[in-house]
Structure 1
């Protein structure tokens, strides 16, 4: 899968990194248990707070920022030991998320100033499960950031395999989000955001996924009304605030509310790049893996999982490695097939039809499919129940 690195701090994109997630954490020094394989990485957060730090921001804004959130409705619960394939894992309490194993004195970088997007944006939560169904579980929300240009069957299957894996841990998945990047990401294969959002909607519909699309990144504007690029760390922080501070968290079986744990969903091929400071900003990696954590889905066709995980051993307590099947699906491969006039088998059919309809990625116009009696594209034939987004 084509991966998308964190261009928010670094200027020159790596050609090997492109599409699945826009994140950025770093490497470090504590090691994985000697007996563990990549599949037995456990989740165990240390109950420690990040102190406040006066931190100078890239934009010359001074911030006195603390990533610890509070909410008067939310209660703390003790950790619940669970078993994953014979490996004991202390799953952190449903309290405000806490960092683990950060070097002493390492400040957590503040988010960039966040302007609200135009055009009546509202945070999507229609498919968010607001009440836990299992006792002593931690509510989990997975976030996949990327260009989704186009979204593939693998993008969608990552949600399902991660959900199945989470069921065997101390987590209960209550929500999943796709967060397409802004049009400001400098990549020639990036089609306009409204097309990418439409394709994500079609992919969700066809695969019966419970994922939601948060188009906040694509709608953010600067004072002049121009699209702006958003760091992945800020995407997760804002989701955290919307879920836990605005909506009030997730209700437990006893009626109390706890904070949902927000974690990044990425492929191992992306994780392989995370220890490279030329690709990822180490300060952001501390937030994404040290503060939030990640579900990392194996990509055996592209990289060895151990090679991806070992450099990130500092964050092993916040990483869940999800076994997956052999595959070589990627957006890059799908785009090449489309340019060559081939059928992109790795795309949901509705996404492929949409691409042909709108002549994206160098595709030829459809011959007879989905045209009305006047020979014009019939959008209703593409997805009868799905409204197609326009430029916003």
Structure 2
């Protein structure tokens, strides 16, 4: 039914060409028969997981889809509609804003009664062909480091020390340890449409929503930028994290564009703190030798310098 969602980017669907070293042992089924068998096996495995009291302790459903953080949230508001988020893009490099998007979207969806089981970062493939794009293997590795950093920071709450009124609030945010890396796109040899990833049958009973920023959502209303924006919106839906003061509400309220036609399938979450952190600005700062600490996870920054990415060369003073 709903597969884990793919990316919403200006180039409407591309997929990673190389995997990180840790994923090198994973093989990708290439024939329709093997893909069908994989989907059948996943559905069978899922039946043993779905419907359990805590929906935790899940089995590994697919070599291509990580599941170590996959779990339902029993404290979410009824009716606890299950879904996963997929955030697609270059992640060149992943920043703290990418991680904040997951937090903001997950929190708002949970407040609205959705049971957010996971969020997947899906970087584009080398075949995307964007100038200055780091190798897919490096971008996948950096995304995994960012997801690991999320797990480490998610342990800041000490339930025993919390007061009765703070416990429920902190518990909800404690469970916002959602992010994993979906490297299927990275392992593709060529350009792949977004919709192809959204339809991959990894978690049949779970709705998949595309997670994106305001500029990406707005691009769906521009004729010719996306091939099937109506299908993506109708089959999967979009949750968009945007800064306050954008023109998204205007696009959603005015007839004559696909965003208005499918406005019921779009949830806009506003970042009331607001910031202008972007991967492109981080790259510019790195190339200029200026500090970017606190703009990207520390482990990601260490990786960038270790690999000499984005013009850092062997410079380790930041």
Please, what TM-score do these two structures have when normalized by structure 1?
0.56
Q: Alignment partner for residue 207 of structure 2, among 261, 269, 272?
A: 261
Question: Structure 1: which 4+ aligned runs deviate by more than 6 Å?
Answer: 71-74
For each residue in 1:113-170, what CA deviation from the matched residue of structure 2 results, as whole angstroms up to 9, or x when unmatched? xxxxxxx943211211157555522101111011111001000010011111012213
Provide the C-alpha distance between the structure 2 equivalents of 1:193 and 1:356, rounded to a whole number of angstroms: 17
Provide the C-alpha distance between the structure 1 equivalents of 2:13 and 2:268, rounded to a whole number of angstroms: 26
> 2:132 maps to which residue?
189
> 2:116 maps to which residue?
173
Question: Residue 354 of structure 1 aligns to a residue in which SS?
Answer: helix
Question: Residue 129 of structure 2 aligns to a residue in which SS?
Answer: coil
Q: Retained in 1: the 8 A contact 2:242–2:270? A: yes
The reply to whether residue 275 of structure 1 matches residue 221 of structure 2 is yes
Q: Which has the higher helix share?
A: 2
Provide the C-alpha distance between the structure 2 equivalents of 1:8 and 1:207, rounded to a whole number of angstroms: 26
Provide the C-alpha distance between the structure 1 equivalents of 2:110 and 2:72, rounded to a whole number of angstroms: 17
Per the alignment, do residues 352 and 294 of structure 1 end up closer, same or farther by CA in structure 2, a change over 3 Å counting? same
**CA root-mean-square deviation:** 2.6
Q: Retained in 2: the 8 A contact 1:271–1:309? A: no
Q: Retained in 2: the 8 A contact 1:298–1:322? A: yes
Q: Retained in 2: the 8 A contact 1:132–1:139? A: no
> 2:302 maps to which residue?
353
Please, what TM-score do these two structures have when normalized by structure 2?
0.68
Structure with the greater alpha carbon radius of gyration: 1
> 1:5 maps to which residue?
10
> 1:292 maps to which residue?
236
Alignment of 1:126-205 (within 5 A): 126-129=68-71, 135-205=78-148
How many residues align? The count is: 237
The reply to whether residue 211 of structure 1 matches residue 158 of structure 2 is no
Runs of 5+ unmatched residues, structure 1: 10-70, 75-119, 221-226, 245-258, 370-392
Question: Residue 165 of structure 1 aligns to a residue in which SS?
Answer: helix
Q: Retained in 2: the 8 A contact 1:334–1:346? A: yes
Provide the C-alpha distance between the structure 2 equivalents of 1:309 and 1:287, rounded to a whole number of angstroms: 17
Provide the C-alpha distance between the structure 2 equivalents of 1:182 and 1:141, rounded to a whole number of angstroms: 22
